[in-house]
Structure 1
């Protein structure tokens, strides 16, 4: 095997393989490379198909019979030495992941490295993988807090405000697009299109991005899929995409457009009152179900009564019991006036219907109000606690050192109280004290700086006192 550090060598003999990696030229014998036929250079040396050879390299120079590879020359130097000695060396300064990527490209396996080097390399690779995993988790949690916890940071609060603004803009645009004055005629097709259609599309794009960011950052995918708020977000963005797919299906398209109204429910993510109202309905579903049942029974009963006394009157609107159902909506004390009884008995039934509705609607008010007030207070307390927690983050190390300095002093000859014991490890001094010590009250017990040993009944705290302290 012959190596050359110069670029552009003279014409080589047919037994030599000329390669250029990252601008640096190398010469290898076909026999040495063919010993490892599963590697990239081994396949290049043993192949007789010119098209396959050209597929294994990035470029080829006919004049010098040289194969070009746009790869890292520093790593290939180790690969080059591997063909010479049969041993693959590993350098400590190289990135483990980048080194493995290069080895995968050249088809050289890590098993050719010495055992001692391979153990050290695998330890560095595992350590780097753990660090990258921790960094990915931190980025995911930051993104999740940005999207789900508006009080965790200023940027998260700005994201919540922006989301609410987009919801309001989309709802206003949806309402204005139904006005005749906000329609414009397309010159090509002659069809009328809403003027604010692009505004709705922009809002849907923002909602889609918001939903995808929540989806990729969620810590629990199953819980995310079963969340009612996330279902509302999905329903808010589906109509536009279904409209694009079902543009020629008229009735389905109208239903899809109607679903756009659910965008207003996205405000529940940023409204404590709306969330408390949703929790109230979910917990009081039995009471709400009974209320709906009583309303349905009243509607059926009073509509049949009014129909029986009004259907013989000329020009009456009570032509059937189903038509009388619409009149019976007055059970909720809301009368539209388009249908009204004309006979005295019909007016009596109408009075009884309205009185029954007043009594019926007043029954569950106290239950629903108490539940709503309870949930609203709990949600507000939770949000207040979250805000205080975020605002009360402090530098524990600085405060703890300040407390230690006030209590114990800083000089090497300062003596600790009799209830304290001092030891010094190779990397840090350690001061221990009983749990019931008065000094415990001066130090905040947090996971970052202090850990409690339940077996010894002591706290362990690392400080910057000199090793000579007693």
Structure 2
């Protein structure tokens, strides 16, 4: 039977074991709040849906909530001001406000501003931490492998190449892949030394053969990773996978240009000048394609925590970096125009035009100061001093911010790596122990009463002999 609620001028609340008494006329000022609805509700059944329990003897409504938070809610009904203390967690306090049906507009403006700032900071920190976890944890769907063709084998290969914390072999493969990247970069740079180009094998230098072997390894690794992934869209969108593709693409583009453009047109190049010009243009494109090979060093970001932390810092501070470049561009345009204006009438001045002065302004703002272009007049030197001072102040502003964030992200990334590696090791250890335990108990579980064989004792042997 549903209890009948007595009519009282006091609303008695028991929140987490602490009793609060609120006059009913104070509660009625906020009829849309949970306590206001509870005080005005005359339906016993609905009242029980608004609270956790009710006792008729004490006329108390029970709520299984934190009484520390409710102190501020109680103070709000008594003083019409909802204070937000710095010691409270903003996320939990926001949940309590939502539960009791209160609005953030009921708080004072100063508290509301601080509260919103803290909530934004916490949510941004949680977002950054989640992105850091995603940087470490490889993207895979365990359920998809169960339905895929040769799913077990593909999952093993994926963990081997993508998750270095899954096993000792995966860690060794990560080290081996990083060594291949370093070897290919060293071979690419040493191939430009003239003395080493004299040693050839099959029409190619030794360094070219080493580079070709590295390219083949990277190509096989990329296609194996592409065939074993459980989510192709996520694989294509990944920045690290795009770097892997860029690392191998220039070599194959170089082969295409050499085979289909240069070799086919070399025979008629001496007879036709247009063909020579076309070959020259193709050679320039080929130089650009060869230059793209330097992006191969970005493959180290897959196994380098520092490079990943640096890239993550640039992504998180993209607005600050864009503002920095904007201020640099504004300084270049401003000081180049000033320098041209004060130096235009000076004989022998190198600042003949504003676009020609951009180089001097860029070098001065960056505080490099080559000294290849200098002002002639004293007023021009004053403008140069102002440009250099602006560059010092401008370059010093974001360095501390970027460095602090980089060190913070790097430490968090290392912590996430350590936590994830320990989790993976414990998981693999549990799997091995479970597999060994099952292998030990399976023979006993499969035996039946009919298959049990007893070894005869001495007593059984003597009895059989007498018979």
TM norm structure 1: 0.52
Query: What is the 5 A alignment of 1:416-431?
Result: none
Q: Residue 191 of structure 2 is aligned with which of 171, 177, 180?
A: 177
Residue number in structure 2 paired with 1:241: 252
Shift of 1:241: 0.5
Where does 1:127-166 land on structure 2 (aligned, <5 Å)? 136-166=150-180
Indicate the structure whose relative CO is greater, using CA pairs within 8 Å and at least 6 residues apart: 2
Q: Tell me, yes or no, if the aligned pair for 1:184 and 1:195 is still in contact at 8 Å.
A: no
The answer on 1:355 being equivalent to 2:389 is yes
Q: Give RMSD over aligned pairs.
A: 3.4
Aligned to 2:314: 281
Counterparts in 2 of 1:179-198, with a 5 A limit?
A: 179-184=193-198, 196-198=207-209
The Cα shift of 1:357 comes to 1.1
**Cα deviations by residue, 1:260-301 (Å, 9 ceiling, x for unpaired):** 110111111111111111111112211111111000111111
> Bigger CA drift: 325-334 or 305-314?
305-314
Deviates more, 1:304-313 or 1:276-285: 304-313
**Do the aligned partners of residues 186 and 203 (structure 1) sit closer, same or farther apart at CA in structure 2, a change above 3 Å counting?**
closer
After superposition, the Cα gap between the structure-2 partners of 1:182 and 1:188, relative to the gap in structure 1 and judged at 3 Å, is closer
User: Alignment partner for residue 292 of structure 1, among 325, 333, 336?
Assistant: 325
* Aligned residues of 2:145 and 2:155 also touching (Cα < 8 A): no
Using the TM superposition, name which of 145-154 and 219-228 deviates more. 145-154
Which residue does the alignment assign to 2:217?
Answer: 206
Relative to structure 1, the CA distance from residue 180 to residue 398 in structure 2 (aligned partners, 3 Å threshold; closer, same or farther) is closer
C-alpha deviation, 1:254, in angstroms: 1.2
- TM-score scaled by structure 2? 0.53
Change (3 A) 1:283 1:187: closer
Matches within 5 A, 1:220-369: 220-247=231-258, 248=262, 249-328=282-361, 329-369=363-403
Distance 1:225 1:376 in 2: 26
TM-superposition CA deviations, 1:192-237 (whole Å, max 9, x none): x765222221111111111112111112110110111111111111
* Cα 1:179–1:304 shift into 2, 3 Å: farther
Contact 2:219–2:248 at 8 Å: present in 1 too?
A: yes
Gaps of 5+ in 1: 1-129, 403-425, 429-470
- 2:415 and 2:360 map into 1 onto residues whose CA distance is 45
Change (3 A) 1:218 1:241: same
Once the two structures are superposed, what CA deviation does each residue of 1:124-163 show, in whole Å capped at 9, x if it has no partner?
A: xxxxxx9996882222121111111222222111111111
Q: Is 2:394 aligned against 1:380?
A: no
CA positional deviation for 1:378 = 2.5
Q: Structure 1 289/233 Cα, relative in aligned 2: closer, same or farther at 3 Å?
A: same
- Match of 1:74? none
Distance 1:358 1:242, change over 3 A: same
Residues 188 and 366 (structure 1), Cα distance of their counterparts in 2 relative to 1, 3 Å cut: closer
Task: Give the Å deviation of 1:341.
Answer: 2.1
SS at match of 1:388: helix
Paired residues in the alignment total 273
- Do the aligned residues in 1 keep the contact of 2:320 with 2:398 (CA within 8 Å)? yes
Which has a greater percent of strand? 1
How far apart are 1:307 and its partner, in Å? Answer: 2.5
Per-residue deviation at 1:316?
4.0
Q: Given the superposition, is the C-alpha separation of residues 134 and 205 from structure 1 closer, same or farther in structure 2, using an over 3 Å criterion?
A: closer
5+ long unaligned stretches in structure 2: 1-143, 263-281, 438-444, 448-467
Q: Deviations over 1:73-110 (max 9, x none)?
A: xxxxxxxxxxxxxxxxxxxxxxxxxxxxxxxxxxxxxx
* Partner residue, 1:219: 230
Q: 1:318 to 1:385 in 2, by over 3 A?
A: same
Distance in 1, matches of 2:190 and 2:411, equals 37
Structure 1 position 366, deviation (Å): 3.3
Give the match's secondary structure for 1:342. Answer: coil
1:394 to 1:152, Cα distance in 2 relative to 1, 3 A = closer
